[in-house]
Structure 1
Amino acid sequence: MRFTGRKRGVTALWDVAHPARPSRLAGVTMAGFGVHSLAAVRMVPHPAVTVAVEFGAGTPTVDDSAGRRQRGSLVAGVGFGVGGGAWARGENVECVQVRLSPMVVRAILGVSPADLEGTVVALDDLWGRETSRIRERLSEVSSWQDRFALTDALLARRFEARSSVDPEVAWVWKRIVADHGRVRIDRLADEVGWSRKRLWSRFHAQIGLPPKRAARLVRFDHAADRLSAGEGAARVAAEAGYADQSHLHRDVVAFSGATPATLTNEPFLAVDDVAWPTLRTPSPSPTSAN
């Protein structure tokens, strides 16, 4: 499918594909991108670790807020791009992009989400020679579905069956995601039978963010999706758990570096419904039982 995004007078023409069937691994989603010309796209923070495996003629680059530049295949940590200082550029780029739930990151990448917090690193640093091998194989096939199958098989081989996330941490993360970040974090430690200090420490180490910041990121991600879909800011603020529209405005600026009105035109978000098709469901009450 072809997607055209326009920002600041620059047109980004992308070919976008998504798998015909889900990954064999829970917590893994994929999309394929062919970028013919892209001057700059703001990377909007997302509550997942992102892996981009490029195999085309061009080389993508990502610049972060500290002025560092990463080229080629890369891994971006949970919430990378906070503050709006991360930008992606490239021409004639083809890549498979994988989003990993924090709960499967260590099992697949071999590092904790906490080690990737707020950063972007070269995939070579984590996978070594395996990165060049999968890039070569991806370039040898012409079908996006075959590329997704190759990538999924690689992820399955790397996956370690044992979980590296405590059941209590997994339960808290699932509550946060299910409630779109509106859950009251202070009550969750009591619900899992842990002290607040223990939950904060274990959650941060295993998910990559403290619980409250993780909830804010998930809530922002849900709100950003709705804003990008054309919903009004007042309605989104009321239904997404913000105190008022000003509260939504401040959070959007803090996470993305853009106002809610500007965020609706960001190609990074506008392409989501094409690349990552999902069924939108009403948000559950934050006080509902799990």
Structure 2
Amino acid sequence: MLPSDAPPDWTGVDIAVPAPPVRLPGISMAGFRQHVPSFTDIAMVAHPSVTLLIDLSEGEGIQYGAHGRQGHGSFVAGLLPGELRASGRLDECLQIRLEPAVATAVLGWSTDLSGRVESFADVWGRDAERNEEELRAAGSWDERFALAAGMLLRRTAHRRPVDPEVARTWRRTLSGRGRVRVDGLAGEVGWSRKHLSARFTAQLGITPK
């Protein structure tokens, strides 16, 4: 992957977002399409979410690198992934951002992605290739967003959601920009600090602070 300090040129990129009926709580989606596929090298912006980047290109597609490790194709970036770059001759890609509580419901409690970047296939499992092909073959972004929403909802149907106390603590931590004391957060949900820290870490893969 070739490093580049130049800012990405978004003038040649169409960006699509879902209409209200496809919007889901804790999930944001955006579709990107280059007018003329060309080599792109960008530093991914840190975001308080688990990010799925689905490569819908027909050609060489996305290359990504983090922590000295490189991969090719669709990937999943966890919370605090460090320096992450994506490059390649991109045509189209779908970005899905999941709040941590939603990511746990979609990907499962056992998926600890904190500080990591993994291939989409490794995280998503056996349906990854089929789901990518369905998204690639869709005739419009609206159809892709609807397909993606269905895929996400199906994965949550048989998984236990995070505790409401954990979800509330995450929202308070985010809104307080990490400056809220854990003792105070524990008091708000009626748990001890130790119990909150244990449940929060077990379910989201990070500590409350």
Same fold, TM-score > 0.5, yes or no: yes
User: Which residue of structure 1 aligns with residue 98 of structure 2?
Assistant: 100
CA contact (8 A) 2:42 2:85 kept: yes
- Pair 1:60-2:57 in alignment: no
Change (3 A) 1:124 1:186: same
Contact 1:16–1:34 under 8 Å retained in 2: yes
Question: What does the per-residue CA deviation read over 1:162-206, in whole Å, with 9 as the maximum and x for residues that have no partner?
Answer: 643122212211222344444333311222232222222221221
Q: Given the superposition, is the C-alpha separation of residues 19 and 185 from structure 1 closer, same or farther in structure 2, using an over 3 Å criterion?
A: same
Aligned match of 1:44 = 45
Q: 5+ residue gaps in structure 2?
A: none
Inter-partner Cα distance in structure 1 for 2:147 and 2:24 = 14
Cα deviation code 1:74-123 (max 9, x no counterpart): 11111222xxx21111213311111111112232123445x111111111
Q: How many aligned positions are there? A: 202
- Identity across matched positions, percent: 46
2:124 maps to which residue? 127
The aligned counterpart of 1:204 is 201
Change (3 A) 1:179 1:161: farther
Which of 152, 157, 164 matches 1:155?
A: 152
The secondary structure found in structure 2 opposite 1:26 is coil
Mean CA deviation greater in 123-132 or 95-104: 123-132
Change (3 A) 1:96 1:111: farther
- Output aligned runs, 1:1-290, within 5 Å: 8=6, 11=9, 13-21=12-20, 23=22, 25-35=24-34, 36-58=37-59, 59-65=61-67, 67-81=68-82, 85-112=83-110, 115-160=112-157, 163-212=160-209
Give the structure with the higher percent helix. 1
Say whether the 8 Å CA contact 1:70–1:120 is kept in structure 2: no
Q: TM-score, normalised by structure 2?
A: 0.84
Structure with the higher strand share, 1 or 2: 2
Once residues 207 and 22 of structure 1 are traced to their aligned partners in structure 2, the CA distance between those partners, rounded to angstroms, is 28
